[in-house]
Amino acid sequence: MREIDRIDELILELLRKSEKPMSTYKIAKEAKLAWSTVNIHCYKLKSFGLLEEKTTISPIGQKKVMWKLTARTPTLDKFMKRK
């Protein structure tokens, strides 16, 4: 069964509070987690259909992945751990 863990919940909460999509770096910085940890969890949440990603490339060629909640995100309950 697919489950949402504490880190996933933190990422979802940060994105809920944000008015705009957030980069992996910004999520990591605000959550005080490693970029690689956030990256893995964002792709996990994307596979659940809870996040959407958009990749942008800056004028100097730097790739940035932006994350936002999907319309399906309110259906989180079926993914949440029973406490």
Q: What is the pLDDT of residues 38-73, one digit of tens each?
A: 999 999 999 999 999 999 998 999 999 999 999 866
Is position 77 within any domain? no
19 band by pLDDT with thresholds 50, 70 and 90: confident
Is position 51 within any domain? yes
Q: What is the pLDDT of residue 2?
A: 72
Residue span of the structural domain in which 67 resides: 6-72
Domain tally, the chain: 1
82 band by pLDDT with thresholds 50, 70 and 90: very low
Q: What is the 3-state secondary structure (H, E, C) of the chain?
A: CCCECHHHHHHHHHHHHCCCCEEHHHHHHHHCCCHHHHHHHHHHHHHCCCEEEEEEECCCCCEEEEEEECCCHHHHHHCECCC
The residue assigned the tokens 């909640």 is 69
Is position 63 within any domain? yes
Residue count of the chain: 83
> What CATH number is associated with residue 39?
1.10.10.10
Q: What is the pLDDT of residue 14?
A: 97
Name, in order, each residue with C-beta under 8 angstroms of 59's C-beta and a sequence gap of 6 or more: none
